[in-house]
Amino acid sequence: MPDMEGFREANNFGLGQAQATDNFHVKGASNLPWGMKDRLTRIFNPKSGKAVLLAFDHGFIMGPTSGLERIDLSIVPLLEYADCLMCTRGILQSSIPAATNKPVCLRSDAGSSILTELNRNVLIDVEDAIRYNASAMAVMFAAGDEEREAITAANLVKAVDLGNRYGIPVMGVTAVGKQMARDARYFALASRMCAENGASIVKTYYCEGFERVAATCPVPIVIAGGKKVPELDALKLCYNAIQDGAAGVDMGRNVFQSEHPAAMIQAVHAVVHDGITAEQGYEMYQDLSK
Ligand code: 5RP
C-alpha cells in the first residue's frame, strides 16, 4: 500500500476551466476508440494530418517486379523517409528489420495474380495482423466487378469486424476491374462504399474531379501512385491530390522505380506534409540526387 504519511491532498482542480477536448486530426475518426486513434496517429502525422505510405506489396500479385527484386537493397534504405510501410507479412518477416519501428499497413488479403483476372481473395488471420503489430489492415474492394464485388465486400466487412474487435483500422483498397471507367463517379462510389462498410482509410486513384471523390468520402483518402511516370509528373500528382483533398499518398513504383528513390520519397514527403509545389519538390529531388 502507498504510504499515507506525507500524503498531499488533491488541490489543483482547474475550476472554471472546461476539460480539454480532443480535436482529432484524422477525418471521420473522432468517435473511434483510443487504440484505433493511436494507430491512426502512427500513420497520419498529428501536425499536418497527412501521411506518406511507402507501398511495396506489389509482389503479392506481381512477383519480383522492377525495383522490388531485393527488398533489402532497394526498400530498406527508404524506410526512414516513410510514415508507414504498406507490405505483406511475408516481406515484413523476411526482409524488414523489426528495429525499423515504423507503423505497418499490412496487406491482409490474397488470392490474385497478374496472370489471371482478379481472383477470389481470402483474408489473412487477424491474429497474425496483431502478431505483426499492424497499425492498419489493407483489404481490396472491387466495386462493380460482377464476380468479385460480393466476395471483396465480404472480406472488407469481416476485416472491419475483426479490426473493431482489436482496435486495428482497415484501409479499403479500391481495385479497378478492367471494365470500369477510371473516373470521379466510379472512384467516389467505390471510396464511399469502403467508408460506409467501416474502412477508416481509403486508398484510391487520383482522377479529374477528385475533389468530389475526397469531399464525399467521410474518411481520409490516400492515393496510389500508379505506373512509373517522370518524377515531376509524379510530384504534380501528389500536389494536385493534396490540394483536392487527399490526406496523403500510398506510393510505390514512382518511388522505388525512380532513378533516385531516396531523393524522390523525400520530395514526395515535402509536397505532402509541407505544402511545397511540385516544381519546388522537383528542385528538391534534383538537389538530393546529386
Ligand atoms: C496494389 C496496391 C499497391 O500498393 C498500389 O498500387 C500502390 O502502388 P503504386 O504507387 O505502385 O501504384 O495496392 O493493389
Give the lowest-confidence range in 7-16, 153-162, 197-206, 216-225.
7-16
Give mean pLDDT, residues 146-153. 91
Pocket, ligand 1, Cβ cutoff 6 A: 55, 57-58, 86, 173, 224-226, 250-254
Q: Report CA(19)–ligand 1 centroid distance (Å).
A: 43
Q: Whose CA is nearest to atom 5 of ligand 1?
A: 224
User: Pocket of ligand 1, candidates 56, 58, 194: which has the most ligand atoms within 8 Å of its Cβ, to mutate?
Assistant: 58
Instruction: Give me the percent of the chain exceeding a pLDDT of 70.
Output: 98
Residue 209 within any structural domain of the chain = yes
pLDDT tens column, 265-280:
999 999 999 999 999 9
Q: Which of 37, 50, 203, 236 is catalytic?
A: 203
Q: In this predicted structure, what is the pLDDT of residue 114?
A: 78
Pocket test for ligand 1, best of 75, 250, 255, 265 (most atoms within 8 A of CB): 250
Average pLDDT rounded to a whole number, residues 44-64 = 95
pLDDT of residue 83: 98
Assigned C-alpha cell, 244: 483536392
* CA–CA separation, 234 and 226 (whole Å): 9
Q: Is residue 37 part of a domain?
A: no
Of all residues in the chain, the percent with pLDDT exceeding 90 is 86
pLDDT of 118: 63
Instruction: Decide if 170 is inside a domain.
Output: yes
Q: What is the pLDDT of residue 181?
A: 84
Residue 260 has a pLDDT of 98
Report the atom number in ligand 1 closest to the C-alpha of 250: 7
Atom of ligand 1 nearest to the CA of 203: 13
Is residue 267 one of the residues assigned to a domain?
no
Comparing 80 with 175, which gets the higher pLDDT? 80
- Does residue 130 sit in helix, strand or coil? helix
CA of 53 to the centre of ligand 1 (A): 10
pLDDT greater at residue 106 or residue 7? 106
Clarify whether 203 is annotated catalytic: yes
Residue 150 lies in a domain: yes
Pocket-testing residue among 253, 254, 258, ligand 1, by greatest number of atoms within 8 A of Cβ: 253
Q: Both ends of the chain: CA-CA distance in Å?
A: 63
Domain of residue 93, CATH code: 3.20.20.70
Non-local (6+) Cβ contacts of 51 within 8 A are 43, 44, 45, 83, 84, 220, 222, 247, 248, 249, 272
Domain containing 62 equals 50-221+245-252
Residue 39 has pLDDT above 80, yes or no: yes
When divided into structural domains, the chain yields a total of 1
Query: What span, in angstroms and rounded, lies between the C-alpha atoms of 199 and 171?
Result: 6
Q: Which atom belonging to ligand 1 lies closest to the Cα atom of 225?
A: 10
Q: Is residue 144 one of the residues assigned to a domain?
A: yes
| pLDDT value of position 248 | 98
Has residue 31 been placed in a domain?
A: no
Atom 4 of ligand 1 has which residue's CA nearest to it?
55
The residue whose CA is least distant from atom 12 of ligand 1 is 226
The answer to whether position 194 is within a domain reads: yes
Residue 2: pLDDT band with limits 50, 70, 90: low
User: What's the pLDDT band for 5 if we cut at 50, 70, 90?
Assistant: confident
Per residue in 84-138, pLDDT tens?
A: 999 999 999 999 999 999 999 999 998 778 777 666 788 999 999 999 999 999 9
